[in-house]
Amino acid sequence: MDESAIDKLFIKAAGSTAETSEDARRVFGILVSSTLRYRDLLKDELGIIVTVEDVRIALEWLLDSMGTKKLPETNNAVRLDLLKIWLDELKPYS
């Protein structure tokens, strides 16, 4: 998964960039940069590829988790770890 695929996914999730507030762009920037760091770490250290589908599902979980304050029940460590990273990165904004 390349950086442009991640950017496109987050832009799609944010809606039209012209209508997106500065705060929303900042949050999505945090999500993109932490996703890229995690992707690179997994690839370099474990040879695991983070897919667009992994990011898409974790993004859905993020929205649910922020509302319910609960983590999803899953055995997919890549997606769950990505969600936890995002939640930690976004703590100052919640």
Give the model confidence (pLDDT) of 6-57 as tens digits. 666 666 665 644 456 777 778 888 998 999 999 999 999 999 999 999 999 9
Count, in order, helices (H) and strands (E) of the chain. 4, 0
Domain span at residue 67 reads 3-93
Number of domains in the chain: 1
Mean local confidence (pLDDT), 78-83 = 97
Q: What is the pLDDT of residue 88?
A: 94
Q: What is the pLDDT of residue 92?
A: 83
Q: What is the pLDDT of residue 26?
A: 83
Say if residues 51 and 1 touch (Cβ distance below 8 Å): yes
Query: Who's near 66: CB < 8 A, 6+ residues apart?
Result: 87, 90, 94
Q: What is the pLDDT of residue 11?
A: 62
**Distance (Å, rounded) from C-alpha 25 to C-alpha 22?**
5
